[in-house]
Structure 1
Amino acid sequence: MAFHEVRFPANLSFGSVGGPERRTEIVALASGFEERNTPWAHARRRYDAGMGLRSLDDLSALVAFFEARAGQLHGFRWKDWSDYKSCLPSRAPAFDDQVIAQGDGMTKVFRLTKTYASGPGSYARPIDKPVRDSVRAGIGGNEVFPGTHYAVDHAQGLITFAEAPQPGAEITAGFEFDVPVRFDTDRIAVSVASFQAGEMPAIPVIEVRV
């Protein structure tokens, strides 16, 4: 599948409805107990792009974006306004927001991740589409700097250090990120009269693996 490194207009995704989806298989036993399992290692996010439209100009911009992606054919970036930073929404990303790995003295390339923790459970989410020029990194509690100490692959979410971090050194990062998605429909059906009356078209968007 082709992926276009272009972001859906952020002003149109603001106000959209969506979030993570999990798949859980539940088997009820004769004893009344349950066995629960999931075939998915990672959540998949779904959104409705139609909910962010506020004017006919917005609708025109969405149709142009849809046509340029050839409907479902090409993926693109999506800003999830409810979850797009390595830190709390009220803060700016810092180099020590997320621990992404431990140095081993040999490895130079590491994947960006965001960890969600609550009680005894935690989930490390791979970050594939960091926002350009937003990534900050640290080694062993000290900030290091792009160009001199590391480079970022913004299309794959990889950070490459000029020198391998020392064994045991915590590698940290802070960043903003997008979600890789595609349209989940090949058809947009909208009536201008209905739109002006406040009826929003349903335009589903779904996360893709890249």
Structure 2
Amino acid sequence: MFIGIDFDNTIACYDELFAVAAADHGHVPPGTASTKSQVKQAVLRNPDGERHWMTLQGEVYGARMAGASMMPGLGDFLTACKERGVPVAIISHKTIYGHHDPRRVNLRDAARGWMHDQGFFDGDGFGIDERHLYFESTREEKVHRIGRVGCTHFIDDLPEVFEEPGFPDGLDAILYDPAGSLSPPAGVRSSADWRSIQNMVFGGDD
């Protein structure tokens, strides 16, 4: 067994960061949006909304990355992997720099630093081998990496990843969908929380 996991919005939760950043820039009134999806919808309704949204993403994934939180239940899942000796790979489609980011913050370094702060690679933390952290520049490269690494399971919040040509056959694909609003592609299981993903993967053998 070898578990592969996406990073943005699967491991790292940005809801509060997006809400605060959007309010700070005047894109939404404070307190009117509480999730990334709500912020995105509100920003895109504004003039030049697409550019503002891309700029906001670069800021949240870069300069504000330290304020991200882990998805609820993820820590228990990673602990279960460690206790069972099951290796984990983190495979992310992430560019080096954000769009329209004048500060040119390295997004990959920011994500890696956040994971270090959360104990992802510590022996007394989640014990993930840092050599199994991969950042890819395109979705195509990401799915090829999943195949090359040899994942038996892959967990992602985007249905498009599982539909990408070249996504490996034969692995257990799980769509992480906290809002319950997505339609999983054929052959892909869906879950709204990490506890049920843990049961899917390990069969509830606590």
Question: What TM-score do the two structures reach when normalised by structure 1?
Answer: 0.24
Q: Based on CA coordinates, which of the two structures has the bigger radius of gyration?
A: 1
**TM-score relative to the length of structure 2:** 0.24
